[in-house]
Amino acid sequence: MRPYLTALALLSCGCVRAVREERRTPPVDTGHAVSFRAEGPRRWDFGDGQAGEGVEVAHTFDRAGRYEVRAFEGDRLTDRVSVLVQPRDPFRAVAPSAEAALVFRSLDELPPAVDFLERLGSAATVQRALERTPLFAFALEPGPKGTSALDRLEGAGLYWPQGLEAAVAFVGVVDGPSAREALSAWLIDRGYQASPARAGRFALEGVFAEVFVDRGTLFMVTGSDWEVVGRAAEGVRRAPARGLEGDPVASAGVSALASGGVALVVTPPFTGRRPGARAAPGARWSVGVAALRFGRDDVRLIGRLLGSAPLWNAPSASRPQRLLAHAPGGPVALLAADVPLAQALDAVVPALVSRGPDDGAMLQAGLEVVSRRLDAALYFDAEAFLLATVAARGRPSPRVTLLGEAAVPDRPAVERVVGQLLSRRKEGVDSASEGATTVWRTRALEGHELELALDADTLYARLGRPLSGRAATDFVSALGARAEGACGPGHLTAFVDAGQLARELLEPRMVPGLDPRRVVLTQALTSTFLSQLTAIDTVLLDVAPAADGATVLLEVTLTPRRTKGPAP
């Protein structure tokens, strides 16, 4: 009988079985065991160079990709399973009980963040921070062996365990033993002493660390002593395989964030999650999540404070923003608050305002009577600054003008609180009333003039000298265009323009009573100090209530880098 007829006959008799085909869905994560089962003992080829034997086997894939897993009975192929392996979400390395976590969703996100922070502060400051988080420094320069062992797609992160003075840093790997070995050599090369009593433990100048691989991730736990490090490391090993997904609120919030970039998860301070911490009655958000994008000269954070209800209610009708809609141009800072301010501050930053029998209680009372609409604009008084700085023999003496306007629903209550606050001052206070308006004048903050005026429904304030020669500007529209919704009903919006401060300092000017050369020298020294202090150009913050808590937008821009011209 011809060979093909023999094969046909065998098939028709059922003597040769067809290959069982399977295509697994959904994808599985790198670093997690995947189970495979056949009808009898088999030899398994997992498609990644690894093999196994048995009726049922489990295998962990170190790299992302699609794999064809095959099972053999002798030389005959019996099973073929297609498996799609995806990079492990770095949030799955974060324990659900973490108090805060910072996650780089790929290693490519780490250098831009470091570069931005170096410009924001200084290279020395960032270097000290990296020394306290050695795993990040290793991930930036892992060497040839470390480079091949790390998984750039699985990213890196840092979190703080609940109730422990410890930090847990982690990075995804494709070769756990090689990654651990490369990190160990890297630490020893930088002065860390390996513990002779236990492998994977290192110490340097009061910093104790344990290095280990778990579920396809390289962890480095640091703390102030071995007991703390041991407890934190054991918590890592006991954490569920799905990590932060074990917290449904945090998981839902993270899932709603834009993909890629850098992500942040925090729990509110002083909410009783840590041993001995007191609860904050006003806190109504349980977790905050945010996505950060680092650009060449800016970083933008978009996040949410998640709770069961809005942190405060947006007003049904808002009073027009009379100050910021036509404020003098050139402010260095702006504030627009269409919220019950005491409630908003207590909800966003619990325990910020003290409830005790001290000055904080007076501040609380003042915030509560100044409800809803509060607008303020801060200006740098360059001329007064130069006069005061020269008089102080070069010691910088800030001089500003602050304009404020607040809606007051209860005039007698506001008048009572203002009177109580001013009565506690040592400086003299002049007050006068005309019709429905009461005016107070005094001195505050190194001799700045302070004037308050209260009419039937508004409290006006001016700290510093009156402004002149500045064109009116609609900052409500300008900020609203920069961040959609900013300055709107129910929003708390703050804007800082450090670039404007630098421009005010450098603007050529004649100051009556001062030698022009002293003016120029003082301007040069002060502007140089300011440029060395920070590279921040602008900061914009907008917080608004949402059905499940609040939305947060933060944008920080740096002074643009100078572009080097062509070589001569």
For residue 372, give the 3-state DSSP assignment.
coil
Tens digit of each residue's pLDDT (9 = 90 or more) over 166-219 = 999 999 999 999 999 999 999 999 999 999 989 999 999 888 999 999 888 999
pLDDT at 532: 67
pLDDT at 192: 95
Contact 139, 156 (CB under 8 A): yes
Burial (Cβ within 10 Å: 0-12, 13-18, ≥19) of residue 563: exposed
Q: According to the model, what pLDDT value does residue 269 have?
A: 66
Count Cβ atoms within 10 A of the Cβ of residue 551 and give its class: 0-12 exposed, 13-18 middle, 19 or more buried: middle
Query: Which tops the pLDDT comparison, 469 or 144?
Result: 144
What is the spatial distance between Cα 181 and Cα 49, in angstroms, rounded to a whole number? 22
pLDDT digits (tens, 9 = 90+) for 368-395: 656 678 899 999 988 888 888 888 777 8
Residue with more model confidence, 210 or 412: 210
Omega before 27 cis (within 30°)? no
- 160 forms beta bridges with 100
pLDDT in tens, 475-523: 999 999 888 888 888 899 999 999 888 888 878 787 788 888 887 887 7
> For 223-242, what is each residue's pLDDT tens digit?
989 999 999 999 999 988 78
> Is the pLDDT reported for residue 144 higher than 90?
yes
Question: Distance between CA atoms of 550 and 308, rounded to whole angstroms?
Answer: 10
Strands 217-223 and 262-266: unpaired
More confident site: 341 or 153: 153
pLDDT digit string, tens, across residues 13-33: 445 568 999 999 888 888 788
Say how far apart CA 186 and CA 201 lie, in whole Å.
13
> Over the stretch 281-305, which tens digit does the pLDDT of each residue have?
445 788 999 999 999 899 999 999 9
Long-range contact pairs involving 165-168 (C-beta distance under 8 Å, separation at least 24): 165/223, 165/224, 165/228, 166/221, 166/222, 166/223, 166/224, 166/228, 166/229, 166/231, 166/232, 167/132, 167/133, 167/221, 167/222, 167/223, 168/95, 168/98, 168/219, 168/220, 168/221, 168/232, 168/236
Return the pLDDT at 428.
84
Name the average pLDDT for the chain.
Answer: 84
pLDDT at 106: 92
DSSP H helical ranges for 152-207: 176-189
Q: What pLDDT is attached to residue 411?
A: 86
For 429-452, write each residue's pLDDT tens digit: 888 988 889 999 998 876 788 999
On the question of pLDDT at 427 being above 80, the answer is no
**pLDDT for the residue 322:** 79
Q: Residue 91 above 80 pLDDT? A: yes
pLDDT score of 1: 47
CB 44 within 8 A of CB 69: yes
Instruction: Check residue 13 and give its pLDDT.
Output: 46
Other Cβ atoms less than 10 A from the Cβ of 508: the count is 8
**Residue 366's pLDDT band (cuts 50, 70, 90):** low
